[in-house]
Structure 1
Amino acid sequence: MAAQRTNRRDRQRRDTLAEIRAAARTLLVEQGSPAVTINAVAREVGMSGPALYHYFAGHDELVEAVTEDFFRELVAAMEAARDACAADSPARRLLAISRALRGWAIAHPAEFGWVFASPIPAPNAERLTSPRYRAGQDFEQVFLAEIEALWATSPFPVPRADELAPSIREQLSAYSAQLNRNLPLEAVHVFLSCWIRLYGLLCMEVLHQLDFAYSDLEPVFEECLRDICRMLGLDYTPADAPVSSES
């Protein structure tokens, strides 16, 4: 009986935590990130501000939890797109992942802005264990796993190490050590160059920084993907091309 009461309390707590995070998301989408305060979220779920502290230690912890939710949702969308063409070429998988990222971002601009349109702090011992950081790492690994697999089977063109500025080499060495991946820093440099192009364009689209020139950025995004494929030595495939079922 005691175990049943404990399980019931655990379920109720999980349900309340999920309700709080959902309320925070609703406030974000409808009113913007400044509206996501402890007191506002508490009102949404019908409790007092002090009562909410029984579930989250403060605003920062609530932000961590909501950000983790967004990352997990985005990663699931990207992995589903990747798995739908798992038997196909690395180019197809990378393109599918990239298009899934854009699809999620334009469908959820407030959530995308919450996650990505703010500075990402440098990792330290505390941040490395945070749910937000771990979820962000999982997001990063979706791309990196494909890049690593591509490098192992069909290495793409990279600059010589001595062609990179000393500061870039130093920073890439530190970042590569964090990744713990079988990629030389020159390959990591190409990966980051591709990511900067992809992410930069996506941010400009979601944040409406190109509305002065474009009303439809999908073909511009596809041009970006074509350029990235060229950088990685891959064949570009249009979005509407059928996916091969052959292994």
Structure 2
Amino acid sequence: MTTSRRDRLRRATLDEIHAAARRLLTTKGPAAVTINAVGREVGISGPALYHYFSGHDELVNAMTVAFLDELADELRTAGGFLDTCRALRDWAVAHPAEFGWIFTRPVVAGAARYAAGMRFEQVFRDQVVALWREKPFPVPDLADLAPGLREQLVSYSEVIGGELPPAAVHVVLTCWSGLYGLVCMEVLHQLDFAYSDMGPVFEEHLRGLADRLGIPYEPSSAASMPR
């Protein structure tokens, strides 16, 4: 299907707007990403930018979607589960501003943002579902969990179509919480008081994840370690 010249020009302008917004984010911080500032970066007025975005929230969503899709693409090509975890860390360390934009600030609701989040989530979920189907990992007895927790696990298991039973969901979400938390602390330099090199710390965490999921731990190659 061919596109018109007008559509190509619009796409090129949208790409330029996104690049300008990302540049402001990485050089001046999230507060600098305003409609007027982005307009100045691309040489158009703030009001003219409303021909492309209805307002700041839509611009925020567009950037978030782009970052999530970029990250998801990186994860899809990483390899197995542990290498996917490493790819998450690599991207976050290399793109701290973008990582913070996605994960450490309030979420602006929107269908496109939700869909992008689901695409990102699907990368990890497909991998743990495959692990579960090949060899179920140890799970807790649901009866031993608090009723409120149990109800939420059952509900989420239904949301993902029963691909994982509630007890397995509990293990996976616990693993994700620990992984995400450690990456966040590294990106935000919250462990600098103790560690000057987070590589071994992260690998030790992956060793624990591998044990929890019943998969062999394979050390990272030098190529997959953050610079």
1:138 aligns with 2:119: yes
CA distance in 2, matches of 1:44, 1:241: 38
| Structure 1 residues 240 and 142: alpha-carbon distance in aligned structure 2, compared to 1, 3 A threshold | same
Letter of the aligned partner of 2:98 in structure 1?
E
In structure 2, the residue matched to 1:151 is 132
CA distance in 2, matches of 1:141, 1:39: 35
Q: Is the 8 A contact 1:160 1:186 kept in 2?
A: yes
Runs of 4 or more consecutive aligned structure 1 residues displaced over 4 Å after TM superposition: none
In structure 1, the residue matched to 2:174 is 193
Which residue, out of 150, 160, 182, partners 1:169? 150
1:18 aligns with 2:8: no
Letter of the aligned partner of 2:62 in structure 1?
A
Q: Secondary structure at the match of 1:81?
A: coil
Single out whichever of 146-155 and 232-241 deviates more from structure 2. Answer: 232-241
Please give the per-residue CA displacement for 1:170-220, whole angstroms capped at 9, x wherever unaligned.
111222222224210000000001001100000000001001111100100
Structural mapping, 1:1-247, within 5 Å: 7-82=4-79, 93-120=80-107, 127=110, 130-240=111-221
CA distance in 2, matches of 1:65, 1:187: 33
CA distance in 2, matches of 1:149, 1:50: 49
TM-score with structure 1 length normalisation? 0.86
Q: Secondary structure at the match of 1:195?
A: helix
| Structure 1 residues 119 and 38: alpha-carbon distance in aligned structure 2, compared to 1, 3 A threshold | closer
CA distance in 2, matches of 1:172, 1:11: 46
Letter of the aligned partner of 1:24 in structure 2?
A
User: Which 5+ residue runs of structure 2 have no aligned equivalent?
Assistant: none
CA distance in 1, matches of 2:106, 2:59: 18
Letter of the aligned partner of 2:95 in structure 1?
H
Please give the per-residue CA displacement for 1:84-140, whole angstroms capped at 9, x wherever unaligned.
xxxxxxxxx00110011100000000000000112457xxxx74xx21111111111
Letter of the aligned partner of 1:134 in structure 2?
A
CA distance in 2, matches of 1:34, 1:182: 40
Please give the per-residue CA displacement for 1:35-67, whole angstroms capped at 9, x wherever unaligned.
000000000000001000000000000001001
CA distance in 1, matches of 2:24, 2:193: 29
Q: Is the 8 A contact 1:148 1:181 kept in 2?
A: no
Q: Is the 8 A contact 2:141 2:167 kept in 1?
A: yes
Letter of the aligned partner of 1:44 in structure 2?
E
Q: How many residues align?
A: 222
CA RMSD, 1 decimal: 1.6
CA distance in 1, matches of 2:93, 2:4: 39
Sequence identity (%): 59
Letter of the aligned partner of 1:29 in structure 2?
T
CA distance in 1, matches of 2:68, 2:112: 10
Q: Is the 8 A contact 2:157 2:163 kept in 1?
A: no
